[in-house]
Structure 1
């Protein structure tokens, strides 16, 4: 009851009440800021992880030798390993893509429709066109940002140039071919939407000359003056792949399953998992999360110091009341509890307000970003810098609990010294000049 009376403002206590109100606001802002920032960083990590692992496997297996013609058999063997969802083979190479208005360096990846269907993120992201008859059509799929950059739309030709062309007595000639755009996709990640060109795997194998020609059985030798048709009939093309990607049920189980995959491959291959490929990137994100949490916790700490100052002022103002309570039989512990409850109540109300405000902001982060960008006329969190086309946010219950416990603990600790000082008041000295 006494602690509650001290929290309610009276005319002569207005200044102290204003300090207490500002302290509550400071704690609320600190708690809300921590919740919003941690939620947005969680959203960034989850979104990047889902996009990266949605198109890139948890393992990428590269052949040690150059004649990777048995990639279909390797795929089937890897998919039989317990814990593996699927395996896809692909052909990949660097090239220059030219459209109606511009040119850009791209990564050309050849995949069969059977393997593309194992990538739900890519299949569902088609905004124009479709993947029907993918293997039969001699076309490509490009991202929406690449289409905008090159000035291309559905059905327009895109010219792809690579220096690895046909060998002649004068050197290698560039390989230049044009393909119609059959699919325009929007994954939502700038790296994929502006850099990757997908085409049927056999078209990519022909384009990058990923095959070897071997003499068919029964053709021990060819006539000296053999025609082109006879040469084509005599030789068989054995197509190769660049690598195989493996998708796991548990992305964090890479270390436990790598040995099984190496044995199941049936041939020497180098396996690299997604953690090693993106180690620097995700380590930087983790360090940033920890640093941001520590820095923003200082806001709550400063607000907790304000609790100390407001309680010290309250104790000074209530010196006579403390002396009267002591003469009426109140113990030092009782006096200490009164002021601990007063300060903790300030911290509790501020923490509760910050919790509600933080949840509202974190859940509606993207809507708020879009509204602020529209009002100010500037691009907040531009996708070219932050890699994502929207501001993701994911509220983690454990992290929110840590923030609330931290705020309440600091608020309680801040009350101990002023409450202890109040408990040490000598009634005789306090009432001498009353």
Structure 2
């Protein structure tokens, strides 16, 4: 929308408060702040939701892969041909054998449920989710036959087990004796404590070499799962489709969507719902712009009539008031982007400050799954938020602008 010099001058004049127009300026300022808060709230919430999903996805797939081949009854005996076939498929980057079994762990008189995970030595050391998040101890001490393990940080806190402490793993599937089956109890030394940032993993995982896990569970050469990583997790079902005949009658193929379908569907629904609800804040702010422009038109009726008698066109007056309203909306959007960026940068500090001031635990990892408030800003979503705010601001200016352009200068100057 191109304005000539007098239209720009009039629009600039109407944006600034005149004598006796302080209330109109106050309403316009409130409209600007309301737009800013609406835009900031949308950017913050959508960024946190995106960050939550991305962080959760990275942590989950980092430990569980994009898909798994899971043997019937938790046992996969003839697994080598399946792993070789998986590695040969285009789009597959790795196929890793694992043993995973729920057990009980005991240390310092405390007992907790744990998940035993047996991995090949290279896979333990090269897995960034584990290797890059060691809080204490030395992961390199976890070697086959060493009777050493790595455990999650929250499990370490609950058991009071730290590097150098011994823990006992209890398996109900022990050896048969004349008095029945005796649970198998094996003692290990904690070599390292890791914290991947996902509560369920830090709270339960005990990681050891796969050979030690097979001995602990008396599994022989069998494993329970083959973890598969691909180049495109969104197309994992298509990539692994040729593996179906090889797995048939031995196990099932589960991708990350099937393993965590309820969680990710809930996140997506919540994300959409939050976007719709918070968009109402911008809509309310736009109504404030509408009301402030109506008040401005009413206050400037005499000025508008004089401009009309001096030759101002209806179209020119419409452009003036549309410019005023859109400028208020645009300034609010810019302020909202700045506020959103500042909040996201200091988000964890803000959460900690609120928790300290109120004494409430706003981010309980047991409920939120992740240990810190995540954030990932999507430029396309930010662009959509800006576009929505601009369009609504523009629409809010149409009626006041039309009302101003429809002013009859003869009637106004006759009676005013």
Matched, 1:245 2:227: yes
Find the residue that maps to 2:240 and give its secondary structure: helix
Partner in structure 1 of residue 157 of structure 2? 148
C-alpha separation in 2, matches of 1:112 and 1:344: 62
> Is this contact kept in 2: 1:165–1:172, CA < 8 A?
yes
| Map 1:15-414 → 2, pairs under 5 A | 15-64=23-72, 68-132=76-140, 134-211=143-220, 239-263=221-245, 268-414=250-396
C-alpha separation in 2, matches of 1:62 and 1:398: 38
Deviation at 1:304, TM superposition (A): 0.1
> Is this contact kept in 1: 2:89–2:240, CA < 8 A?
no
Deviation at 1:110, TM superposition (A): 1.4
Deviations 1:351-409 (A, max 9, x none): 11111111221233223323443454443312221111111111111111111111111
Gapped runs of 5+ residues in structure 2? 1-8
C-alpha separation in 2, matches of 1:358 and 1:114: 43
C-alpha separation in 1, matches of 2:178 and 2:229: 44
Partner in structure 2 of residue 13 of structure 1? 21
Gapped runs of 5+ residues in structure 1? 212-238
Deviation at 1:40, TM superposition (A): 0.8
Provide the aligned C-alpha RMSD in A. Answer: 1.9
C-alpha separation in 2, matches of 1:56 and 1:323: 72
C-alpha separation in 2, matches of 1:8 and 1:379: 45
Q: Could you tell which deviates more after superposition, 41-50 or 355-364?
A: 355-364
Provide the TM-score with structure 1 as the length reference. 0.89
Deviation at 1:200, TM superposition (A): 2.0
Find the residue that maps to 2:17 and give its secondary structure: coil
Deviation at 1:115, TM superposition (A): 2.8
> Is this contact kept in 2: 1:262–1:269, CA < 8 A?
no
Find the residue that maps to 2:329 and give its secondary structure: helix
When residues 244 and 46 of structure 1 are mapped into structure 2, their CA distance, relative to the original with a 3 A threshold, is: same
Deviation at 1:163, TM superposition (A): 1.8
C-alpha separation in 2, matches of 1:275 and 1:67: 22
Find the residue that maps to 1:173 and give its secondary structure: strand
Q: Could you tell which deviates more after superposition, 353-362 or 400-409?
A: 353-362
Deviations 1:182-225 (A, max 9, x none): 221111111111111112222221222213xxxxxxxxxxxxxx
> Is this contact kept in 1: 2:318–2:401, CA < 8 A?
yes
Q: Could you tell which deviates more after superposition, 352-361 or 171-180?
A: 171-180
C-alpha separation in 1, matches of 2:120 and 2:140: 12
Q: Greater CA radius of gyration, 1 or 2? A: 1
Find the residue that maps to 1:272 and give its secondary structure: strand
Find the residue that maps to 1:140 and give its secondary structure: strand
Find the residue that maps to 2:139 and give its secondary structure: coil
> Is this contact kept in 1: 2:117–2:206, CA < 8 A?
yes
Deviation at 1:161, TM superposition (A): 1.6
When residues 409 and 147 of structure 1 are mapped into structure 2, their CA distance, relative to the original with a 3 A threshold, is: same
